[in-house]
Amino acid sequence: MQLCPFTLCNKHFKDGVFSEVFHVNEADANLALLPEGLDIATATMLSDMVLTGFHGVELADVQFGDDVCVIGIGPVGLMAVAAASIRGASNLYAVGSRKKCIEVAKAYGATDIINYREGDIVEQIMEKTKGKGVDRVVIAGGNEDTMIQAITMLKPGGRIGNVNHLGSGDYIKIPRLEWGCGMGHKTISGGLMPGGRRRMEKLASLVITGRVDPSLMLTYKFNGFDYIEEALMLMKNKPADLIKPVVIL
Amino acid sequence: MQLCPFTLCNKHFKDGVFSEVFHVNEADANLALLPEGLDIATATMLSDMVLTGFHGVELADVQFGDDVCVIGIGPVGLMAVAAASIRGASNLYAVGSRKKCIEVAKAYGATDIINYREGDIVEQIMEKTKGKGVDRVVIAGGNEDTMIQAITMLKPGGRIGNVNHLGSGDYIKIPRLEWGCGMGHKTISGGLMPGGRRRMEKLASLVITGRVDPSLMLTYKFNGFDYIEEALMLMKNKPADLIKPVVIL
Amino acid sequence: MQLCPFTLCNKHFKDGVFSEVFHVNEADANLALLPEGLDIATATMLSDMVLTGFHGVELADVQFGDDVCVIGIGPVGLMAVAAASIRGASNLYAVGSRKKCIEVAKAYGATDIINYREGDIVEQIMEKTKGKGVDRVVIAGGNEDTMIQAITMLKPGGRIGNVNHLGSGDYIKIPRLEWGCGMGHKTISGGLMPGGRRRMEKLASLVITGRVDPSLMLTYKFNGFDYIEEALMLMKNKPADLIKPVVIL
Amino acid sequence: MQLCPFTLCNKHFKDGVFSEVFHVNEADANLALLPEGLDIATATMLSDMVLTGFHGVELADVQFGDDVCVIGIGPVGLMAVAAASIRGASNLYAVGSRKKCIEVAKAYGATDIINYREGDIVEQIMEKTKGKGVDRVVIAGGNEDTMIQAITMLKPGGRIGNVNHLGSGDYIKIPRLEWGCGMGHKTISGGLMPGGRRRMEKLASLVITGRVDPSLMLTYKFNGFDYIEEALMLMKNKPADLIKPVVIL
């Protein structure tokens, strides 16, 4: 079972998910059979990290040969990196700073790492693209000013896919001039990932056929119900080498 | 010849457009033959008002049975109203206040007029839609807060098409909560209309077949080069019954 | 209640549809509340004729200013004509021969009637379009050779939407040269219309707002259960002025 | 310079392409600068094999997790295999029989080889997919009956992209029942690949970033104008280990 941060949030809390049995609505539409050969720990990534990261790339509508920037390389951003690289991206800029995440981002197909601790990320992108910017941006992290950066580094005709939950502030700001005064054909989309059985089956088949390997993100594995507290504390304390912990029951 | 406000703006000024002959780049791609039966005064609307208003509806991607709000019913907004009504909109809310424009908006298929002088437009839309909001918004006017209103009145899954040139301010603001914290699948697009010969021919055929009648917007007509100054002054002074003036040479 | 020919076919027969109560699967997803003001006889058209005809236009992906040909103007084809005219078609060619259907096709926005009794329909279309052909074809009738005609009259880059149930023969034939030897970007799509509550609500709102009026097709109306047999016989015998009969209980 | 079979065909012959200088129409739109680091022999593949194979995958509209069948693994089909595998395919069935082509197809991401010499390809696909068929088919080879096979192995809702030039016969046949009697939502598209500078630049960037390596197909390389005849004869005689020859001037 995957320890999803949403389970820590009382808005999303559903009694019983940490129990042996629990209720699923519309099971035929929402429960997928694990395909043979799919590691159970890896499978836990499918319903959240994989779905969300892949959806970011769908929202940004990556096409063959696009230069893509993924902002944020926590687990969702890492899956967006993996998704962009099997969706046709050429140059793939991953924005992050944590050593373990950078290592995995490269394994997932990032061609360049943009470390925000080494300077403004827009400037770094513009330098690497010779002032042209990128075709697509997936926002999978950052703060309230990330949209400003995304619009600024985006080419006219480009598209932003946001899968980051924006938790504070009254407004997300679009920089007017960089948005072409509303005329620049820079499309902004953002959404919660669609789920469902068929989609899970499709994404599971990407794992089975070796197109994507979410297990690289499982940097901590535990066996047994007793380790749930420890795993939860890991997610709270976020040690340097943590991407996702998993507890196998 | 249509008196386009852009000709008053030195950034867009090209010597000779008010002359008897002038140069057109890539004529085969950019010049369309006027089809037989197309009134020359009406034709002047095609290359700016019709193209722009129709593109707003394309950006908003109106589908059969959508509830649509068009904000602004100057000539571009009026063409967006006409476009939405022949693109499958059902309830079609036109936001404006000028009497002549309201009259033409109704003729173009608006089912409801939302007058911003009679209260907050979002509240009016929400009341008329029983709290559900609309499926699509075309922004063809307004001010720096119009995007806030558009996002607020938009249903999750909806789409905004902006064709308004946003002329001032540093930022366009997206209201965070109303945007579903970035998760609400409310897509924002905006762009300058595409032009070209083929597109002009297609839109001209809509006029020829009677699907849209831009002539309703030609509230002032002049004959002769000498009237250009008068027509320009009309556009500057905007009398109550002006939508677009035209000068026929 | 609408007398659908499918009810005469034992493959689709479900006991009880002609009774006072019957079972609907997934009612929340499949039952729509009749909106206020929607005539009950007109409403019977929504779940079959309107859905199907409109889907043909969606499959053909009609865009602003497209020249469209609808082959077949039985009730489904008539709804495709109505749909194309509120989806942005300019010239709208309706292929049929029955007097009553021609009259209604014109009322629904057909600009030209192509009568197959007066010559080859492809030749007629080519003459009217000065040899260019049309941008979209909706197939809502015809026989096993209709696809050949549709491909032949279609421009490169065009699209065919088939909603006709093809009941006999081993193959549907695509003419090779006219299909550009497989290189002509003439897309062929065909499908059963999607249904569901939300879609019904959207299409119902098109009727309520006066965008489409399916009642023109109700050329025979009966009141009372006793008339079901008579209505069924009408559908079997197809008198000249029949489009659809309706029996109100 | 790439030795394209079209140059052997007098319909496509343009005097001078085998010379030191030749004329290109609209050079700004049609000539791309070779990016630094792109091998000149590999670059010859871009304007024909890569463009065409990739377009087949675009026409088939491959999505994350789709099961894809590519029929034909000559150079175009091989590029379709490579394209599908970086566009999100999971199971990727490549239909062919030549040993060298099979080897390269596997290197490009094919998960299964379907050899038509070992039985009916539809039966083989159906067995491997447990009777479900595939989501997408790219036709890059075969004969006049290939469309029949493609439709038969395609799931409802699927899509076929044809990039094979269909050179003989009067008709391409769609099997009626397998096409769902016209109701099965199996879309058939086919087209000549779009070209142009921007597209070439995008595809070149896929080579530069290592996403695709067309050089695996260059099984014969020559240096010098004198070898053109030998290279042409190779293309005519097609030895077992030939995929594409290249002559560097």
The reply to whether D162 falls in a domain is: yes
Query: What is the value of ipTM here, to two decimals?
Result: 0.92
pLDDT surpassing 60 at residue A207:
yes
Q: Which of B86, B76, B135 is nearest to B109 (CA)?
A: B86
The reply to whether D161 falls in a domain is: yes
pLDDT for the residue numbered D14: 56
Distance CA A118, CA D2 (A): 44
Of these ranges, B35-44, B91-100, C35-44, D238-247, the one predicted with the greatest mean pLDDT is B91-100
pLDDT for the residue numbered C2: 34
Residue among B64, B206, B211 whose CB faces C206 most closely: B64
- Contact B170/A169, CB-based, under 8 Å? no
Distance CA B52, CA B162 (A): 10
Question: What is the band of A26 on the pLDDT scale with cuts at 50, 70, 90?
Answer: confident
The reply to whether B98 falls in a domain is: yes
Distance CA D117, CA A37 (A): 30
Nearest C-alpha of chain B: how many angstroms from A150? 14
Question: What is the band of A4 on the pLDDT scale with cuts at 50, 70, 90?
Answer: very low
Distance CA D77, CA D59 (A): 14
- Contact D87/A87, CB-based, under 8 Å? yes
pLDDT surpassing 50 at residue C95:
yes
pLDDT surpassing 80 at residue B66:
yes
pLDDT for the residue numbered C17: 67
pLDDT for the residue numbered D3: 34
**Which residues, in sequence order, are CB contacts of A72 under 8 Å at separation 6+?**
A95, A96, A139, A140, A141, A142, A164
Q: Where are the beta strands (DSSP E) in A51-204?
A: 68-71, 92-95, 112-114, 134-139, 154-162, 171-175, 187-190
- Contact A202/D64, CB-based, under 8 Å? yes
D51: which chain C residues are within 8 Å (Cβ-Cβ)? none
pLDDT for the residue numbered A7: 34
pLDDT surpassing 60 at residue A224:
yes
Q: D94 and chain A: CB distance < 8 Å anywhere? A: no
Question: How many folded domains does chain A comprise?
Answer: 1
**Are the CB atoms for A210 and A180 separated by under 8 Å?**
no
- Contact A182/B190, CB-based, under 8 Å? yes
pLDDT for the residue numbered B26: 80
Unique residue bearing structure tokens 């950078």? A102
D152-173: average pLDDT: 96
D80-85: average pLDDT: 98
**Are the CB atoms for C138 and C79 separated by under 8 Å?**
no
Note the pLDDT tens digit of each residue in B69-114: 999 999 999 999 999 999 999 999 999 999 999 999 999 999 999 9
- Contact B89/C201, CB-based, under 8 Å? no
What values do phi and psi take at D121, rounded to 5?
-70, -30
pLDDT for the residue numbered D120: 97
Mutate to test the interface with B, among A71, A160, A174 (most CBs of B within 10 A): A174
Three-state SS for chain D is: CECCHHHHCCCCCCCCCCCCCCCCCCHHHHCCCCCCCCCHHHHHHHHHHHHHHHHHHHHHCCCCCCCEEEECCCHHHHHHHHHHHCCCCCCEEEECCCHHHHHHHHHCCCCEEECHHHCCHHHHHHHHCCCCCEEEEEECCCCCCHHHHHHHHEEEEEEEEECCCCCCCCEEEEECCCCHHHCECCEEEEECCCCCHHHHHHHHHHHHCCCCCHHHHEEEEEECHHHHHHHHHHHHHCCCCCCEEEEEC
Of these ranges, C101-105, D47-51, D225-229, the one predicted with the greatest mean pLDDT is C101-105
Mutate to test the interface with D, among C71, C166, C186, C193 (most CBs of D within 10 A): C166
Residue among C67, C91, C211 whose CB faces B90 most closely: C211
Residue among A165, A166, A179 whose CB faces B172 most closely: A179
A209: which chain D residues are within 8 Å (Cβ-Cβ)? 90-92, 111
The reply to whether B24 falls in a domain is: no
Note the pLDDT tens digit of each residue in D21-36: 778 878 888 888 889 9
Query: How do B187-190 and B134-139 pair as beta strands?
Result: unpaired
pLDDT surpassing 50 at residue D10:
no
pLDDT surpassing 50 at residue B1:
no
Least confident among A139-143, B1-5, D169-173: B1-5
Neighbours of D10 (CB within 10 A): 6
Cα diameter, chain B? 57
The reply to whether A92 falls in a domain is: yes
**Are the CB atoms for A121 and A114 separated by under 8 Å?**
yes
Question: What is the band of D15 on the pLDDT scale with cuts at 50, 70, 90?
Answer: low
pLDDT surpassing 50 at residue C125:
yes
The reply to whether D115 falls in a domain is: yes
- Contact B58/C64, CB-based, under 8 Å? yes
pLDDT for the residue numbered B65: 98
The reply to whether B38 falls in a domain is: no
SS3 call for C92: strand
pLDDT for the residue numbered C195: 87
pLDDT surpassing 70 at residue A232:
yes
Which residue of chain C has the CA closest to D181?
C166
The reply to whether D208 falls in a domain is: no
Nearest C-alpha of chain D: how many angstroms from C248? 30
CATH, residue C124: 3.40.50.720
Q: Which domain holds residue C73?
A: 49-190
- Contact C183/D191, CB-based, under 8 Å? yes
The percentage of residues in chain A with a pLDDT greater than 70, rounded to a whole number, is 93
Residue among A58, A90, A204 whose CB faces D206 most closely: A90
Of C155 and A20, more confident: C155
- Contact C209/B111, CB-based, under 8 Å? yes
Name the token pair of A33.
Answer: 């059979």
B183: which chain A residues are within 8 Å (Cβ-Cβ)? 163, 165, 190-192
Distance CA C9, CA C199 (A): 26
Note the pLDDT tens digit of each residue in B107-162: 999 999 999 999 999 999 999 999 999 999 999 999 889 999 999 999 999 999 99
Output the CA torsion A85→A88→A90→A92 (10° steps): -40
Of B2 and A131, more confident: A131
pLDDT surpassing 90 at residue C16:
no
pLDDT for the residue numbered B6: 37
Q: A166 and chain B: CB distance < 8 Å anywhere? A: yes
A170-196: average pLDDT: 95
pLDDT surpassing 90 at residue D60:
yes
C139: which chain D residues are within 8 Å (Cβ-Cβ)? 182
What values do phi and psi take at D58, rounded to 5?
-65, -45
Average pLDDT of the residues of chain B: 91
**Are the CB atoms for B5 and B235 separated by under 8 Å?**
yes
Average pLDDT of the residues of chain D: 91
